[in-house]
């Protein structure tokens, strides 16, 4: 069998693919987190809970209404995004004049409520979500076997990340968003309805988390706590990348997933902590993060 540094090649490649899959979830989640933080100055602790809700909505759409995966991919982010809009209008809105720490605390409380509620309704064991028929099976690449669904997750997440990046950096809407992030009151003075923009931004960021949840459902199973520790990892990713940078959060998300996959091969015991160790090192060398400015 072909080996690489003494490890069987298919094992290494398999873990790296899995690493990329996780990395693309990190990228989607930290992207949403960064967009929300940019405009609202809220670190959205409920991001993991919204990711979980995305998975659950997909599952419930399937068993209650028979909506398939492709429908869920569109509908679940819309539904969860609408919930996010409600949260922003009803709750977060009241905190903008206060210390940003209160936003973190409020969304932490919200995460507890969502997770507790789902656990009460559906129990804490994982629910299997079927891989859609079109994406079952494997690509035989000669040196390894690649599950089609995993390849799809990577391609789909990266495409979405790329589109969001284009939207923010290259379109008029994105320019307005960046202007509001830079100076909200001045942007408002130019006749832009900033409060509506803030609401929609939160909704969109949350919808991205829900999309990641739907993409993850066939891989990780749907459970009330699927986002609980993920959100902490994504926080670390954001600290490493630097919260100010959209591009930085995408790249560092992917990169860290890759490193995590590599660690699973070389030293599995450390795979859960490697991202936090990298975070500590980055803080020592470059406290503002790899792509951060402030």
Partner 1 sequence: MRLSPSRIVELLLLAFALCVPFLGIYPVFVMKLLCFGIFAAAFNLLLGFSGLLSFGHAAYFGIAAYITAWFRVKTGLSTELAILAGVATSAFAGLVIGTLAIRRQGIYFAMITLALAQCMYFFCLEASFTGGENGIQGVPRGSILGLIGLQSDVTMYFFVLTVAVAVYASIKQIVHSPFGQVLRAIGENEPRAISLGYSVNRYKVLAFVLSASLAGLGGSLKALVLGLATLSDVHQSTSGEVILMTLLGGTGTFLGPFVGAGIVVTLQEYLSDRVGAWVTVVIGAVFVICVLAFRAGIVGEIAKRFGRGATAPSA
150-186 b/e (C-beta count within 10 Å ≥ 16 → b): bbbbbebbbebbeebeeebeeeeebebbebbbeebee
- CA 137 to each of CA 132, 147, 244: distance values in angstroms, whole numbers, following the listed order: 10, 6, 40
Stretch of 167-175, 213-221, 244-252, 283-291 contacting partner 1, by CB under 8 A: 283-291
| 136 in contact with partner 1 (CB under 8 A) | no
- 18 or 232, CB closer to partner 1? 232
Q: Which of 94, 141, 183, 186 binds partner 1 (CB under 8 A)?
A: 94
Q: Which is nearer to partner 1, 160 or 184 (CB)?
A: 184
* Segment (H or E) for 34: helix 9-40
Q: Decide: helix, strand or coil at residue 138.
A: strand
Total residues contacting partner 1 (rule CB under 8 A)? 43
Nearest to 14 by CA among 131, 146, 138: 146
- Site stretch for partner 1 (CB under 8 A), options 4-12, 58-66, 165-173, 276-284: 276-284
Residue 204 interacts with partner 1 (CB under 8 A)?
no
Member of 137, 193, 277, 293 binding partner 1 (CB under 8 A): 277
Residue 228 binding partner 1, by CB under 8 A: yes
Tell me the C-alpha distance between 199 and 55, whole Å: 23
Rounded least distance, CB 135 to partner 1, Å: 32
Distance in Å, CB of 50 to partner 1, minimum: 14
Helices 9-40, 172-182: axis angle to 10 degrees equals 70
Among 112, 127, 135, 167, binds partner 1 (CB under 8 A): 112
Among 91, 127, 135, 219, binds partner 1 (CB under 8 A): 91
Distance, in Å, from the CA atom of 166 to the CA atom of 35, rounded to the nearest integer, reads 13
CB nearer partner 1, residue 88 or residue 115: 115
> In sequence order, what are the residues at sequence separation of 6 or more whose Cβ sits closer than 8 angstroms to the Cβ of residue 139?
145, 146, 147, 148, 151
Q: Closer to partner 1 by CB, 217 or 238: give it.
A: 238
Answer left, alpha or beta for residue 123, where phi above 0 means left and psi between -120 and 50 means alpha.
left
**Do the beta carbons of residue 279 and residue 236 sit within 8 Å?**
yes
Among 7, 117, 138, 162, binds partner 1 (CB under 8 A): 117
By CB under 8 A, name the binding residues for partner 1: 43, 91, 94-95, 98-102, 104-106, 108-117, 119-120, 228-229, 232-233, 235-236, 238-239, 243, 269, 272-273, 276-277, 279-280, 283-284, 287
């Amino acid at each position: 069998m072909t080996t690489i540094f003494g490890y069987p090649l298919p094992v290494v490649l398999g873990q790296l693919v899995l690493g990329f899959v996780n990395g693309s979830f990190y990228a989607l989640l930290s992207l949403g987190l960064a967009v929300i933080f940019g405009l609202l100055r809220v670190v959205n602790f409920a991001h993991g809970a919204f990711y979980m809700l995305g998975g659950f909505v997909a599952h419930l759409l399937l068993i209650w209404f028979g909506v398939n995966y492709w429908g869920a991919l569109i509908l679940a982010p819309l539904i969860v995004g609408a919930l996010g809009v409600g949260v922003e209008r009803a709750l977060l809105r009241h905190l903008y004049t206060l210390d940003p720490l209160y936003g973190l605390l409020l969304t932490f409380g919200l995460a507890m409520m969502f997770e507790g509620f789902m656990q009460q309704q559906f129990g804490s064991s994982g629910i299997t979500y079927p891989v859609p028929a079109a994406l079952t099976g494997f690509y035989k690449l000669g040196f390894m076997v690649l599950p089609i669904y995993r390849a799809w997750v990577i391609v789909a997440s990266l495409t979405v990340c790329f589109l969001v990046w284009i939207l923010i950096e290259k379109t008029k809407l994105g320019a307005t968003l960046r202007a509001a992030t830079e100076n909200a009151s001045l942007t408002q003075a130019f006749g832009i309805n900033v409060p509506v923009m803030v609401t929609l931004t939160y909704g969109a960021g949350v919808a991205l988390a829900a999309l990641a949840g739907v993409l993850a459902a066939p891989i990780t199973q749907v459970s009330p706590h699927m986002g609980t520790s993920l959100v902490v990892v994504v926080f670390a990713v954001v600290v490493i990348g630097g919260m100010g940078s959209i591009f930085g959060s995408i790249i560092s998300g992917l990169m860290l997933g890759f490193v995590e996959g590599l660690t699973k091969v070389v030293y599995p015991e450390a795979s859960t902590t490697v991202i936090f160790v990298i975070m500590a090192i980055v803080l020592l060398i470059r406290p503002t993060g790899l792509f951060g400015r402030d």
